[in-house]
Chain A
C-alpha cells in the first residue's frame, strides 16, 4: 500500500470553481433569474413609490434589499447539483481539504453577485439616480458586501441543502445573519447616494465593518465546513 495522497487545495479549488462556472454558463439556471428578479423589483419600486429619483437612505435600502433578495435565488441553488448529482460524495471521496469546496463555492457565488450587479446597478442608476458620480465608490462597497454575503450564503446553503425545507430554511437563517452586513452596506451607500452628489461621512468606518464581517464569516466557514460535510 502507498502513503496517503493529497491533492493540492489550489487544484481542487480550480476544479470545483471551473465546474460550477462551466455548468452555469451552459445552463443559465441562476444568473438570468437573479437579474430578472432584480430588474422587476426595481420596476415595482419605481411605480410603487411613484418616484423617478431616489437618494440617501431610501436609495440605499432599495438597492441593497433588491440585491440581497436576488442573491437568495442563487444561494438556494448553490449546492443543488452537489446534492442531486452526487457531487458531495465525489468530493468527500477525493483526497482534498474540504475547505477547497467552501472557497470554490464562495468564489462562484461572488462571481454571480458581481455579474448580477454589473447588470442591475446601471438599471438602478437609469431608474433612480440623477448622476453616475457615485458608481465608482459604490462598486467598492458592493464588492465588500458581496464577499460577506457569499461567505454567509455558502455556509447556510451547505447546511440547508439536505433539508426538505431548504427553500425556506436558507432565507430564514440567512437573513438574520446578514443584518449586520446590511446595516454596514446601507450605511456606506447612503452618503454616496445623497442629494447633491456623493458624500463620505463615516465611509471608512462602514467599509472597515464590512471587511470585519467578511473576515469573520470566511474564518467561520473555513473552520466548520469540514464538519458540515460529515454524515
Chain B
C-alpha cells in the first residue's frame, strides 16, 4: 500500500448534490462542508435518501448532478483517489458466509494492501477490541446478526480510514456491543464521520453538524 504526505482541506464538500433514479429524485440540492475530525449526523424518514447519500460518498453510486468532493477527490472522476481511505458500514456486512470471521478480515486486509504480521496484529487487535476473538474462527453463516455486525465494524476500520460512513451502525448490537463499537467507530480527531441514524438521542451529542433530509431527498434543515 502506498501512502504519503498529508494535504489540507475538508473531508467532504457537497454543493447542489442531486441523484435521480429514473425520473424520481432521491437527493435534491444537498450542500455541506465537513472538516476532518468532525461528525455529521444524517436524519430523515424512510426513503429520504440517507443511504443513497452514503453510497454516493462511498463512491458506490454516481451523483446525477452537483459537485461532490470526498477527501479532496472530485467524484465520480477521481473516485479512485478516495477509495481505500473510506470506511463504509452499510446495511449489508460485506462478509462471505462460508469464510470465518478472521478469514474475511484477512481477505479485506489484502484488498487494502495489508499483509503479513502487521495485518495479523491489526486483525487480532480489532477482534479483541470488539469482543470477537473467541468466535473469530467460526463461519460467518453460523454467527448471530449482532456478531456479524461486530465483524463488519472491524472490516470497516481495518485499513484505518480517514472518513467513516456509517449507516445505522448500532443495528443488531446489544448494549455491550454498542459500547465496544464506540471505541472503533466513535468520534476521533483523525477522521471525519457521517452517521445515518434513526436514534438521534444517541447520535446527536457527538454531532458537529446535523443534516435532516425530507421527502424526495430535499434538505429539510441543515
Stretch at the interface among A12-20, A151-159, A192-200: A12-20
Tell yes or no: A65 within 8 A of B by CB: no
Interface size for B (C-beta < 8 A) is 47
Contact B94–A86 (Cβ < 8 Å):
yes
Tell yes or no: A91 within 8 A of B by CB: yes
A92 to B58, CA, bound (A): 9
A67 to B133, CA, bound (A): 44
A26 to B84, CA, bound (A): 29
A18 to B110, CA, bound (A): 11
Residue in chain A with minimal CB distance to B36: A1
Tell yes or no: B93 within 8 A of A by CB: yes
Contact B112–A92 (Cβ < 8 Å):
no
A11 to B108, CA, bound (A): 11
**A107: min CB distance to chain B, Å:** 16
**A116: min CB distance to chain B, Å:** 20
Set B3, B58, B88: member contacting A2, Cβ < 8 A:
B3
Summarize A's interface: helix, strand, loop or mixed: helix
Contact A1–B9 (Cβ < 8 Å):
yes
Count class of interface residues, chain A: 20 to 34
Tell yes or no: A96 within 8 A of B by CB: yes
Stretch at the interface among B38-46, B59-67, B120-128: B59-67
A8 to B110, CA, bound (A): 10
- Write out, one digit per residue, whether chain A residues 1-39 have a CB within 8 A of any chain B CB (1) or not (0): 111111110011011101100110011000000000000
- Write out, one digit per residue, whether chain B residues 94-106 have a CB within 8 A of any chain A CB (1) or not (0): 1111110001000
Contact B94–A7 (Cβ < 8 Å):
no
Contact A2–B111 (Cβ < 8 Å):
no
Binding site for B on A (CB under 8 A): 1-8, 11-12, 14-16, 18-19, 22-23, 26-27, 81, 85-87, 89-96, 230-231
Binding site for A on B (CB under 8 A): 1-9, 11, 36, 58-62, 71-73, 80-86, 88, 90, 92-99, 103, 107-108, 110-113, 115, 155, 159, 162
User: Could you name 10 residue pairs across A and B whose Cβ atoms are closer than 8 Å?
Assistant: A2-B5, A5-B113, A15-B110, A19-B107, A23-B96, A26-B99, A85-B92, A89-B94, A90-B111, A92-B83
